[in-house]
Amino acid sequence: MTEYKIALVGFGGVNRALAQLIAERNARWKTELGFTLKIVGVTDLFLGSLIGREGLDAGVLARLPAVKGAFAQLPGGSAEAQNAAVIKDSGADIIAEATFTNPVDGEPATSFCRWALENGQHVVTTNKGPIALHGPELKALALRHDVGFEYEGAVMSGTPVIRLAKQTLAGSELSGFEGILNGTSNYVLTRMEGGLGFAEAVREAQVLGYAEADPTADVEGHDVRLKVVILANELLGAKLTVSDVSCNGISALDLADIEQARADGARWKLIGAATRHADGSVSASVEPRLLGNDHPLAGISGATNAVSFNSELLGAVTVSGPGAGRMETAFALLSDIIAIHRRVAHH
Ligand code: HSE
């Protein structure tokens, strides 16, 4: 039986949900998955830091009030975020990185991943920034230090997309994909089909927790663009950067456009897509597209995400599911840890 020591970097909704899962399910994982997790460190910009090499109580952490400096109330805790110390001095085998996405330079998350990989620790992350902006460098580091680096939750949270395409669809000759990769914009388009104005629909998406605090990245396609870069590079062997992907959002669509689409038997969707061409080059875009009602993505409503892979041997394979959510994204971290466990067992 294996016990992995894990340190949590960022303690917002996602890693807190992972702590809750550990508190509730470790015993079950022991028999079903062949390992248990012991939290040995946690650090957060708002809550502070805590190291407990003998193991911290996951239930206590999961229930901790979200009050500034709250970790200082626990034995050995501090009100300061001590990211480097929690990564390097906690004795963790695995670092679970779930801090905010910085779409400009991927920091500070990229540095957290880099430190951990250089330190010989496995890394699981839900963060789009490090993968879209520094993926090749971080993957090379993981390879050099012979550790796992997994990031299923960077695209469509816990809905399996990256490993599904890389592992299960290997050999099917993927030639491209089209995806609804932002829950907020799809929710907004769905509500506009119900007659609600754009601004009001965005406000609803914020209240429901789908949209970012500044929803510009959601509705202007910037969030989707990061996900397209990740998927194109992971699945199609591309070497795209963010500036290679043309990007238009949904803010120019009005109720008349939506109504016209309905009359024509179609729906507007914000589509992130990439295609591999015969010469091996890959082109990618984010744009609103008018989809006929028979398109595999036309029926995806509300905040649900979906991606349709095009492959030579199977045609279109479509996966839909949640694209965000604290427990959904914590599950992505669990699936990454399972992948690392299998890697370790295989070694
Ligand atoms: N704000 C994003 C969305 C969250 O609406 O899909 C996931 O990246």
Over range 109-123, report the average pLDDT.
98
Over its C-alpha atoms, the chain yields an Rg (Å, rounded) of 21
Residues 70 and 170 in one domain: no
CA dihedral (285, 290, 296, 301) in degrees, to 10, reads 100
The answer for residues whose C-beta is within 8 angstroms of residue 63's C-beta and 6 or more apart is: none
Residue nearest to atom 7 of ligand 1 (CA): 324
Q: What is the predicted pLDDT for the residue at 1? A: 76
Confidence of residue 209 (pLDDT cuts 50, 70, 90): confident
pLDDT > 70 in the chain, percent: 100
Q: How many domains does the chain have?
A: 2
Please say if 227 is a catalytic residue: yes
Residues 153 and 234 in one domain: no
As for ligand 1, residues whose beta carbon falls within 6 Å of it are 182-184, 210-212, 218, 223, 323-324
Q: Are 60 and 74 in contact (CB under 8 A)?
A: yes
Residues 263 and 237 in one domain: yes
Residues 92 and 41 in one domain: yes
Which CATH number belongs to the domain containing residue 244 in this structure? 3.30.360.10
Confidence of residue 213 (pLDDT cuts 50, 70, 90): confident
CA angle 4, 7, 25 (to 5 degrees): 55
Residues 176 and 99 in one domain: no
Q: Are 35 and 3 in contact (CB under 8 A)?
A: yes
Residues 18 and 146 in one domain: yes
The alpha carbon of 103 and the centre of ligand 1 are apart by a number of angstroms equal to: 13
Q: Strand runs (DSSP E) across the chain, as ranges?
A: 2-9, 35-44, 48-51, 77-78, 94-97, 122-125, 149-150, 174-180, 246-247, 266-276, 282-292, 305-311, 315-321
pLDDT in tens, 48-58: 999 999 999 99
The alpha carbon of 160 and the centre of ligand 1 are apart by a number of angstroms equal to: 16
Q: From the CA of 217, give the closest atom in ligand 1.
A: 1
Which CATH number belongs to the domain containing residue 42 in this structure? 3.40.50.720
- Catalytic pick among 139, 227, 239, 269: 227
Residues 61 and 171 in one domain: no
Query: How far is it, in rounded angstroms, from Cα 5 to Cα 41?
Result: 9
Residues 210 and 232 in one domain: yes
Residues 315 and 253 in one domain: yes
Query: How far is it, in rounded angstroms, from Cα 305 to Cα 7?
Result: 30
CA 45 from chain centre, in angstroms, equals 20
Residues 82 and 119 in one domain: yes
| Global pTM value | 0.95
Q: What is the predicted pLDDT for the residue at 132? A: 97
Q: Give the other-Cβ count within 10 Å of 92's Cβ.
A: 26
Residue nearest to atom 4 of ligand 1 (CA): 324
The alpha carbon of 209 and the centre of ligand 1 are apart by a number of angstroms equal to: 9
- Give the structural domain span for 17: 2-158+327-346
Over range 138-167, report the average pLDDT.
97
Query: How far is it, in rounded angstroms, from Cα 145 to Cα 142?
Result: 5
Residue 117 vs residues 52, 145, 225, 249: alpha-carbon distances, Å: 21, 7, 26, 35
Query: How far is it, in rounded angstroms, from Cα 219 to Cα 251?
Result: 6
Residues 194 and 282 in one domain: yes
